[in-house]
């Protein structure tokens, strides 16, 4: 699958499922009175969603939904940007965001 084929499939899936969908907040179970810089601010899920930790470190807020057919095994932050690896049908691609809300495709990896 080349990048063009992948993007065509992703666009079709996003039209069917909605590229970015809102979901209820997810509670982490414990609250912290102070911001904790050691906690990751973003995390991915096996059902294609990316969450951001709220300012009170108690709630994971939904930021993106790439669809249930995708998985987000890795999310990291570097140089003020957020990067995520998105896996679909055995193929992976990297997306980048300046704020965790709007995502841009950086490239397609050979195999997931």
The string of DSSP letters for 68-91 reads: TTEEEEEEEEETTEEEEEEEETTE
Please state the separation of Cα 40 from the chain's center in Å.
13
Neighbours of 58 (CB within 10 A): 15
State the average pLDDT over residues 65-80. Answer: 94
State the average pLDDT over residues 54-78. Answer: 93
What confidence tens digit (pLDDT) does each residue in 36-62 have? 455 689 999 999 999 999 988 889 999
Q: What is the pTM of this model?
A: 0.64
What is d(CA 112, CA 21) in angstroms, rounded to the nearest whole number?
24
Instruction: Classify the phi-psi angles of 5: left when phi > 0, otherwise alpha if psi is within -120 to 50, otherwise beta.
Output: alpha
What confidence tens digit (pLDDT) does each residue in 79-109 have? 999 999 999 998 999 999 998 889 999 877 7
Q: What are the backbone dihedrals phi and psi of residue 94, each rounded to the nearest 5 degrees, phi first? A: -105, 135
pLDDT of the residue at 57: 84
pLDDT for residue 21 is more than 70: no
pLDDT for residue 73 is more than 50: yes
pLDDT of the residue at 40: 80
């Amino acid at each position: 699958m080349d990048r063009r084929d992948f993007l065509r499939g992703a666009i079709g899936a996003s039209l069917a499922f909605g590229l970015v969908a809102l979901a209820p907040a997810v509670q982490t179970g414990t609250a912290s009175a102070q911001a904790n810089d050691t906690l990751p601010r973003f995390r991915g899920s096996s059902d294609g969603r990316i969450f951001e930790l709220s300012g009170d470190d108690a709630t994971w807020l939904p930021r993106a939904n790439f669809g249930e057919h995708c998985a987000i095994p890795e999310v990291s932050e570097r140089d003020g940007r957020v990067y995520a690896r998105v896996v679909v049908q055995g193929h992976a691609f990297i997306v980048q965001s300046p704020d965790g809300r709007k995502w841009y495709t950086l490239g397609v990896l050979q195999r997931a």
